[in-house]
Amino acid sequence: MQDDYLRKLEAIEQEAVLAIQNAPNMLELDTARSRFVGKNSGIDEVMQALPKLSKEERPRIGQGANKVKTAIEEAYKERRDSLRRDELNKQLSADRIDVTLPGAGRPIGHLHPLTQVTNELITIFYGMGFSVIEGPEIETDYYNFDALNTPANHPARDEQDTFYTDVAPQILLRSQTSTVQVRAMEKMKPPLRVISPGRVYRNEEVNARKYPLFHQVEGLVIDRDVTFGQLKGTLNEFIRLLFGKPLKTRFRPDFFPFTEPSAELDCQCPFCMGEGCRTCGHRGWIELLGCGMVDPDVLKGAGIDPEEWSGFAFGMGIDRLTMLKFGINDIRHLFTSDMRFLEQF
Ligand SMILES: [Zn+2]
């Protein structure tokens, strides 16, 4: 009787230890343990039978059962630790970082072509003694029109051409950077030499050459005895620096409300040197900017005595210049933020 129990315990131990050692994961390990030491297990049966045994047999069988239980628990702990170690190693090797691999990195961008050209213009004029000033893009009609000698019935004031806001009837999006010149004349005492690059807005139909948002740079010089000759000299030098070579220029009479006399400046096409090509539309000339001597009334309006001071002003579209410089044939490309396009410049 006694030997039967001991043999049974021995068999349980062998089977349990084997199952525990071979458990492939924690779940099966826990299942194996409760199968051999839990309720209704082989050991449980032996323990239940103890009271029926004789006084002499009871302690030996009881000790035997406890010994087997302890052996199973130890095998369990050993297997559990080994499974945890395996799991940890697996994670460590999965998460391992190879420090010799090149980094993923972030692509280094570059300045937008418009910004590149704006910076170039600033550099050129800065070298000629101009400083850069900026003004608000939301303006009053006073700065956008009245102060620039544009009368109330001028077509430019039409809502067809200008974006008015619903803030107030006189609040609009500036349609030219000349507004900044007026502000400069009010704030700064002459002599002054300033350029004002920035965004302007016009209610225009969108096509390859026109966009409701574009960029201008305007220049203003006010000093004693400023002449049209100085205007020509300044702009000719500007063109030489911009295209990196001396180019012929021609001034055609034009009209702007705030300058008198006014002129449109054409320069010899820098791509064909006047021979005629696609860029210049086979004319050999490129219309570059508008300019003129500041109208004495505009000076007076800004509180500058036209008897003592005179000046010249000029303005050009940065977008057009950018398109010319980079050979871009559609202004809309400048505003789509398409990286495939922008990466080329
Ligand atoms: Zn040409």
Cα(135) to centroid of ligand 1, in Å?
A: 35
- Condensed to tens digits (0 to 9), the pLDDT of residues 251-310 reads 999 998 889 999 999 999 988 999 999 888 899 999 999 999 999 999 998 899 999 999
Q: How many CB atoms lie within 10 A of CB 339?
A: 10
Q: Using CA atoms in the order 14, 17, 23, 25, what is the torsion angle rounded to 10 degrees?
A: 160
Cα(66) to centroid of ligand 1, in Å?
A: 104
At 304, which amino acid appears?
I
> For residue 149, which phi and psi values (nearest 5 degrees)?
65, 20
Cα(257) to centroid of ligand 1, in Å?
A: 31
pLDDT at residue 40, as a whole number: 81
pLDDT at residue 149, as a whole number: 81
Instruction: Indicate the DSSP class of residue 214.
Output: E
Three-state DSSP at 265 gives strand
Cα(211) to centroid of ligand 1, in Å?
A: 24
Cα(268) to centroid of ligand 1, in Å?
A: 8
Cα(100) to centroid of ligand 1, in Å?
A: 53
Cα(112) to centroid of ligand 1, in Å?
A: 25
Cα(240) to centroid of ligand 1, in Å?
A: 16
Q: How many CB atoms lie within 10 A of CB 117?
A: 25
Cα(125) to centroid of ligand 1, in Å?
A: 25
Long-range contacts of 259-262 (CB under 8 A, 24+ apart): 259/291, 259/292, 259/293, 259/294, 259/295, 259/312, 259/313, 260/292, 260/293, 260/295, 260/296, 261/228, 261/292, 261/293, 262/290, 262/291, 262/292
Cα(286) to centroid of ligand 1, in Å?
A: 8
Cα(252) to centroid of ligand 1, in Å?
A: 19
Three-state DSSP at 135 gives coil
Question: Cis omega before residue 59 (within 30°)?
Answer: no
Task: In whole angstroms, give the CA distance from residue 224 to residue 214.
Answer: 33
Three-state DSSP at 146 gives helix
pLDDT at residue 1, as a whole number: 56
Which of 316, 292, 302 has its CA nearest to residue 146? 302
Cα(284) to centroid of ligand 1, in Å?
A: 5
Cα(104) to centroid of ligand 1, in Å?
A: 45
> Alpha carbon 202 to chain centroid distance?
26
Which of 131, 163, 177, 118 has its CA nearest to residue 322? 118
Residue partners of 162: CB distance under 8 A and separation at least 6: 144, 156, 172, 173, 175, 201, 202, 203
Cα(314) to centroid of ligand 1, in Å?
A: 23
- Condensed to tens digits (0 to 9), the pLDDT of residues 173-215 reads 999 898 998 898 888 889 999 999 999 999 888 888 889 999 9
Cα(244) to centroid of ligand 1, in Å?
A: 16
Cα(324) to centroid of ligand 1, in Å?
A: 10
Cα(254) to centroid of ligand 1, in Å?
A: 23
Cα(317) to centroid of ligand 1, in Å?
A: 19
pLDDT digit string (tens) for the chain, length 345 residues: 567 888 888 888 899 999 999 999 999 999 888 888 888 888 888 888 888 888 888 888 888 888 888 999 999 999 999 999 998 998 888 888 778 888 888 888 899 999 999 999 999 999 999 999 999 999 998 899 888 888 777 776 776 688 999 988 889 999 989 899 889 888 888 999 999 999 999 988 888 888 999 999 999 999 999 999 999 999 999 999 999 988 999 999 999 888 999 999 999 998 899 999 988 889 999 999 999 999 999 999 889 999 999 999 999 999 999 998 888 888 999 998 898 899 888
Which of 293, 309, 291, 290 has its CA nearest to residue 185? 309
Question: Is the pTM for the entire model greater than 0.85?
Answer: no
Cα(215) to centroid of ligand 1, in Å?
A: 23
Give, in words, the CATH class of 113-342. Answer: alpha beta
Q: How many CB atoms lie within 10 A of CB 298?
A: 23
C-alpha distances (whole Å) from 206 to each of 154, 175, 326 are 23, 16, 21
Q: Is there a contact between 271 and 292 (Cβ–Cβ < 8 Å)?
A: no
- Tokens 């391992």 correspond to 96
Q: How many CB atoms lie within 10 A of CB 86?
A: 11
Rg (CA), the chain: 44
Residue partners of 243: CB distance under 8 A and separation at least 6: 267, 270
Cα(235) to centroid of ligand 1, in Å?
A: 20
Cα(136) to centroid of ligand 1, in Å?
A: 37
Cα(315) to centroid of ligand 1, in Å?
A: 22
